[in-house]
């Protein structure tokens, strides 16, 4: 306000010396000027419409909630008529659109906010939920961080900002399929209205529109369950160029996690049978006469995570890269599963092979149990985020 007053004084220091013709001229010009302003304003508004539409579109996310089915039952408005349970089959004419009633639509008995677009890809039905980002988060954050108590609200706020940032960073990622995100672990687990939690809704409201950036650009906000004492470098989990903010950091906050440390014990025969079958999963097929002699673990000296396994057989040596390590050592009884983490040591004891591990998940970015631990120790959500994503900044989108 002070600045405006000062400026006004400079512009009109002596009102009494303004020449009369200027005043007259000004009086004459006012209607004309007003008309110009109205026209200019209208043109500016017209010019802004695509921008406004784009802004609205950017806050609207398309989430694939049912993928590749033969039929679905939908509750909602279609062509201004309300259906309690409309049976969608492959015989319908696609795309179909359903609008919400009272702010929700129903898909196979599950309520969601927003509207629906139902498409056919190949010979299968896909149900896509078009939902505002803040409503989407209400169905995501509880699935990611679980139930919290009021004293842990800051961890829910940190999780919200990370999940919102993830969504914006993956906007339009399945352009060819016409949606932005899957409602599964492939992106972020989204369970609609049934997942919503009053306390987490507060965390979402208090951080409305906030995302995490690095040098002004939204980041790839990776997160995982438990780091086990130290998060992983980006390249401990994936190949490619590692973002500067996804580097290993110490975490003294996740000791309460049930996954903080873990041990697997297998007898030697089972372990090597397992290894052989797992090798096939990563396209290394040993011949019948080729036997595994042993293996070496190569670790990242900073993060201590295993970044390579060198497997030696009677005829060959196979380097197994970091992104295949958890598949290679995955659970014998779970053919599709991954080992809990690649933060581990392996030792032989008698006829047993013992895997001592720490943490659960890829280990990169925010440790969710660590975020809860930091909130318990009185840290706020920005301190949590800046700890796990060093060099980043929270901004309003």
254 lines the binding site for Zn ion (CB under 5 A): yes
Q: How far is the CB of 358 from Zn ion (least distance, A)?
A: 9
> Which of 370, 371, 372, 386: binder of Zn ion (CB under 5 A)?
370
Query: DSSP secondary structure string, 157-209?
Result: HHHHHHHHHHHHHTTTTBGGGTBSEESSTTS----GGGG--HHHHHHHHHTTT
CB of 342 to Zn ion, least distance (A): 15
Distance CA 58, CA 317 (A): 50
User: Which of these, 212, 272, 200, lies nearest to 245 by C-alpha position?
Assistant: 212
Closer to Zn ion at the Cβ: 168 or 245?
A: 245
Pattern 330-369, Zn ion, x by CB under 5 A: -------------------------------------x--
Sheet strand arrangement including 317-321: 292-299, 306-313, 317-321
Span 219-238, contacts to Zn ion by CB under 5 A: 227
Closer to Zn ion by CB, 114 or 361: give it.
361
Distance of closest approach, residue 99 Cβ to Zn ion, in angstroms: 43
Please name every residue paired with 230 in a beta bridge, in sequence order, or none if there are none.
250
Which region among 115-123, 251-259, 268-276, 293-301 touches Zn ion (by CB under 5 A)?
A: 251-259
Binders of Zn ion among 132-171, rule CB under 5 A?
A: none
Residue (75 or 365) nearer to Zn ion, CB: 365
CB of 373 to Zn ion, least distance (A): 7
125 or 232: CB nearest Zn ion? 232
Residue 149 parent element (H or E):
none
Cβ proximity to Zn ion: between 76 and 370 the closer is: 370
d(CA 340, CA 357): 8
Candidate ranges 38-46, 170-178, 185-193, 249-257; the one touching Zn ion (CB under 5 A):
249-257
Our CB check for Zn ion shows the closer of 152 and 251 to be 251
CA 123 to each of CA 119, 192, 320: distance values in angstroms, whole numbers, following the listed order: 10, 26, 38
13-21, 238-246, 248-256, 346-354 -> range binding Zn ion (CB under 5 A): 248-256
The least distance separating Zn ion from the CB of residue 258, rounded to whole angstroms, comes to 13
Which helix H or strand E contains 2, and what residues bound it?
helix 2-11
Q: Which residues pair with 333 in a beta bridge?
A: none
Work out the number of other CB atoms within 10 angstroms of the CB of residue 348.
11
Please choose, from the candidates 199, 51, 68, 162, the residue with its C-alpha nearest in 3D space to the C-alpha of residue 387: 162
Positions 51 through 110 that interact with Zn ion (CB under 5 A): none
Q: Nearest to residue 353, comparing CAs of 292, 281, 284?
A: 292
Residues that bind Zn ion (CB under 5 A): 227, 251, 254, 367, 370
């Amino acid at each position: 306000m002070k600045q405006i007053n000062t400026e006004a004084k400079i512009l009109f220091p002596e009102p009494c010396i303004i020449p009369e013709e200027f005043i007259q001229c000004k009086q004459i010009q006012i209607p004309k000027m007003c008309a110009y302003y109205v026209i200019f304003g209208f043109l500016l508004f017209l010019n802004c419409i695509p921008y406004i539409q784009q802004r609205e579109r950017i806050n609207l996310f398309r989430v694939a909630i049912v993928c590749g089915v033969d039929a679905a039952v939908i509750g909602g408005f279609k062509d201004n008529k309300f259906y309690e349970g409309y049976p969608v089959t492959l015989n319908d004419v696609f795309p179909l659109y359903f609008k919400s009633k009272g702010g929700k639509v129903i898909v196979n008995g599950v309520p969601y906010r927003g509207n629906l677009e139902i498409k056919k890809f190949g010979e299968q039905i896909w149900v896509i939920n078009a939902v505002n980002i803040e409503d989407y988060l209400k169905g995501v954050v509880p699935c990611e961080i679980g139930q919290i108590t009021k004293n842990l609200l800051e961890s829910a706020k940190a999780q919200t900002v990370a999940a919102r940032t993830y969504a914006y960073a993956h906007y339009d990622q399945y352009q060819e399929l016409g949606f932005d995100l899957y409602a599964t672990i492939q992106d972020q687990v989204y369970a609609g209205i049934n997942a919503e939690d009053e306390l987490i809704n507060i965390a979402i409201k208090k951080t409305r529109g906030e995302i995490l950036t690095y040098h002004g650009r939204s980041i790839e906000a990776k997160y995982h369950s438990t780091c086990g004492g130290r998060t992983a470098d980006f390249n401990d989990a994936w190949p490619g160029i590692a973002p500067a903010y996804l580097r290993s950091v110490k975490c003294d906050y996740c000791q309460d996690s049930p996954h903080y440390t873990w041990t697997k014990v297998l007898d030697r025969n089972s372990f090597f049978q397992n290894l052989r079958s797992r090798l096939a999963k990563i396209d290394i097929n040993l011949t019948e006469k080729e036997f595994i002699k042993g293996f070496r673990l190569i670790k990242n000296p900073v993060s201590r995570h295993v970044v390579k396994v060198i497997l030696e057989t009677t005829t060959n040596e196979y380097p197994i890269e970091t992104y295949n390590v958890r598949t290679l050592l995955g659970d014998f009884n779970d053919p599709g599963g991954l080992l809990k983490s690649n933060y581990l040591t392996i030792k032989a004891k008698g006829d047993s092979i013992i895997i001592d591990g720490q943490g659960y998940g890829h280990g990169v970015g925010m440790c969710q149990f660590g975020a809860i631990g930091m909130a318990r120790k009185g840290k706020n959500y920005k301190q949590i985020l800046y700890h796990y994503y060093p060099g980043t900044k929270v901004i309003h989108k």
